[in-house]
A and B are shown apart, each in its own frame.
Chain A
Amino acid sequence: MKPRTTARHFRESFKSLGRNAWMTFASVSAVTVTLLLVGVFVLIMMNLNKVADDLERDVEIKVFVSLTADEAATESLETAINGMPGVLSVDFSTKEEELQDLITDYGDELSLYKQSNPLYDVFYVKAENPQQTASVAKGIAALEGIEDVKYGEGKIEKLFSFLNLSRNVGLVLILALLFTAMFLISNTIRITIVARRHEIEIMKLVGATNWFVRIPFILEGMWLGVLGAIIPIALVTMLYYNVTEYAQPRLNDELIQLLDFTPFIYQVNGLILLMGVFIGVWGSFMSIRKFLKV
């Protein structure tokens, strides 16, 4: 395509936006609303996901070493657990250290137990994939010299299935919103095309190629998407800035953390813009198809 023709396509696409000002306004509003919803949703979803990851990462297996195991046996147990598939990390804690932790948590009365410590030496094991905690725990329990294995059985399964469900529901909702926006844009473009079908017919009769006819409309769809992305990007940025400003100091040192403002907001805004462009281009591409069969 010649540069002159490219310039023409751009000019035509802008002209059409102005000529169909009300339709432009209508579809830009539709895109704005949709992208705003999608943007806020993505903010919530990604942070929920982060929380879920944080929670999952906190899941660990507590392995009680049998009292009969001596130092050598304990060491070989550690190597054995480390060597098991799916194990991320193993931390050893002697029964003296365990007691010290309890004393810090519950008070000095417990110091009495220092004479005869009833606790066990313990391994804290994390699974590479938290969702596989249960099977890793089972594997460890089968080893020689293990008294018991605890990992919050029952509770973590519920947590995991809840987190997975909420991820899937969020994804479905986002897809549904995108689909609606695409439908709205393609309808808008269809109306501007119907208004210009005479022009398209003549273009085809004087020998314009399909792409020559199509490109201005596709550009127009792209502008609709870009224009529709402006307000959502601004609002989502402001919203998340305020949320992080408010929440970050209050969540200091907590297990659960929000995603940091800076790289995350660029990603979200990039996503919003991309989705705007995508639904605009796809919407016009779909609606012009049948008008090209002259």
Chain B
Amino acid sequence: MIQFENIYKKYPNGIVALNGVNIEIKQGEFVYVVGPSGAGKSTFIKMIYREEQPTDGKITVNGLSLGKLKRKRVPYLRRQIGVVFQDFKLLPRLTVYENIAFALEVIEESPAAIRQRVMDVLDLVGLRHKAKMLPAELSGGEQQRVAIARSIVNVPKVVIADEPTGNLDPETSWDIMNLFEQINARGTTIIMATHNKEVVNTIRHRVIAIEDGLIVRDAAGGDYGYEA
């Protein structure tokens, strides 16, 4: 469902972030993206939801060729992709419920459907009882669960997570990983950039290692392979 063909990316400041990347990720896969900081992981991830565009090469997501995608169509691509960040990116003035509902309001869902969907995902992440709280009243792990709930509330085919456990303590990290496992079990593709060696070596999945803009390793059930 996601295909990179000879992707080359050079930033205006001259830095080459990706230097000929070829990869294919199938529907329902769980993929870790690992590698040192500055190796091109973020660029790789951002290209999937078209926050960055390659200088050269062809990206296909869900049958859409991103190079040919008109700017006006980008919002519709993003509705098929959920994104989770290290810093959660919740809106501080909105309650947990409103934060999640926001993703559906923006795509003009009906209020009844919004209520139903938001309650469903709140159940899934186990935060139904905290729906009326503000993000600042929650722990880091709970905030990340809200962010995950928001990313899956419109039932995307793929969830992209950029260091989702980067700001969390180890114990909380395992809870979050469990959640991703559950989402993956329902058929959603997960692509996760991470530095968490423990997680990668324990919950085994396909590992893609990027170094200096190249894929140096691509192994199903592989290990982290770097000293943490």
The verdict on A2 contacting chain B, using a C-beta distance below 8 Å, is yes
Q: Count residues of A near B (Cβ-Cβ below 8 Å).
A: 19
CB pair B108 A4 closer than 8 Å:
yes
Which residues 192-215 of A sit at the B interface, judged by CB distance below 8 A? Answer: 198-199, 201-210, 212
The verdict on A112 contacting chain B, using a C-beta distance below 8 Å, is no
Cα-based distance from A285 to B129 in the complex (angstroms)? 41
CB pair A208 B91 closer than 8 Å:
no
CB pair B102 A294 closer than 8 Å:
no
CB pair B78 A201 closer than 8 Å:
no
CB neighbours (8 Å) of A4 from chain B are 108, 110-111
A to B contact number (C-beta, < 8 Å): 48
Min distance, Cβ B220 to any Cβ of chain A, angstroms: 30
CB pair A294 B51 closer than 8 Å:
yes
The verdict on B67 contacting chain A, using a C-beta distance below 8 Å, is no
CB neighbours (8 Å) of A138 from chain B are none
Known A4-B108, A4-B111; contact A206-B91, beta-carbon cutoff 8 A: no
Which residues 89-108 of B sit at the A interface, judged by CB distance below 8 A? Answer: 89, 91, 102-103, 105-108
CB pair B91 A205 closer than 8 Å:
no
CB neighbours (8 Å) of B49 from chain A are 205
The verdict on A8 contacting chain B, using a C-beta distance below 8 Å, is yes
Min distance, Cβ B64 to any Cβ of chain A, angstroms: 13
Of the candidates B72, B106, B111, the one whose C-beta lies within 8 Å of that of A206 is B106
Of the candidates B72, B76, B91, the one whose C-beta lies within 8 Å of that of A199 is B91
CB neighbours (8 Å) of B77 from chain A are 207
The verdict on B145 contacting chain A, using a C-beta distance below 8 Å, is no
Of the candidates A5, A199, A202, A207, the one whose C-beta lies within 8 Å of that of B79 is A207
CB pair B89 A206 closer than 8 Å:
no
Min distance, Cβ B188 to any Cβ of chain A, angstroms: 16
CB neighbours (8 Å) of A204 from chain B are 75, 78
CB pair B105 A8 closer than 8 Å:
yes
Interface residues of B (CB under 8 A from A): 49, 51, 72, 75-79, 83, 89, 91, 102-103, 105-108, 110-111, 150, 154
5 shortest A-B CB distances, which residue pairs?
A: A207-B79, A207-B78, A208-B106, A206-B103, A207-B75
